[in-house]
Amino acid sequence: MKKLLAVAFLAVLFSSCGPQKAMLYNWGNYKSTEKAYDYEVLMYDYYHTQSPSSVCALLCQYAYMVKHPGGARGIVPPGICAEYGYLLLSPDTPEIFLNNATKKQKETFGNLSDYGALFRERGLEMFQKEMELYPESAVFITPLVKKFSQQ
């Protein structure tokens, strides 16, 4: 009986050491895909400080996440395209990015002298992509598309 319990205990113990499942979505960083928590750190920094450097870093993080969706589902996480689009369409974002982004960050969007038109176009695209990937988001995104399309 003791041997049977020992074998059962070892079986349970070793079964918990199996391969880990892949994350459902890729939350990795544009600098390194090894750290799955970088998005959370950058988002916290952005909301906590709202500094120009945090805006630039978050924009590049979003661009990376959209280009490299990864994860088990292979699509962009819910809400990311909407957040990215909203940040791109915020009135001060192009100027903040132009004046404060590093050389590497500017390469993400192309070294331009004015990011306004690019950010506007890409922001509206991101709203559309959010609605395509997650149709239930249309209730929230459609009014934003109308608002930013009229400006």
> Which residues lie closer than 8 Å to 131 by C-beta, 6 or more apart?
137, 138, 141, 142
pLDDT, one tens digit per residue, over 29-82 is 545 444 445 788 889 999 999 899 999 999 999 998 999 888 888 899 999 999
pLDDT, one tens digit per residue, over 115-128 is 999 999 999 999 99
Distance, C-alpha 151 to centroid of its chain: 25
Q: What is the DSSP string of 14-53?
A: HHTTSPPPPPSS----SS-TT-TTHHHHHHHHHHHH--HH
What are 109's two structure tokens? 């969007």
> What pLDDT is recorded for position 34?
45
Task: Specify the residue for token string 């799955």.
Answer: 36
- Whether 100 shows a pLDDT value over 60: the answer reads yes
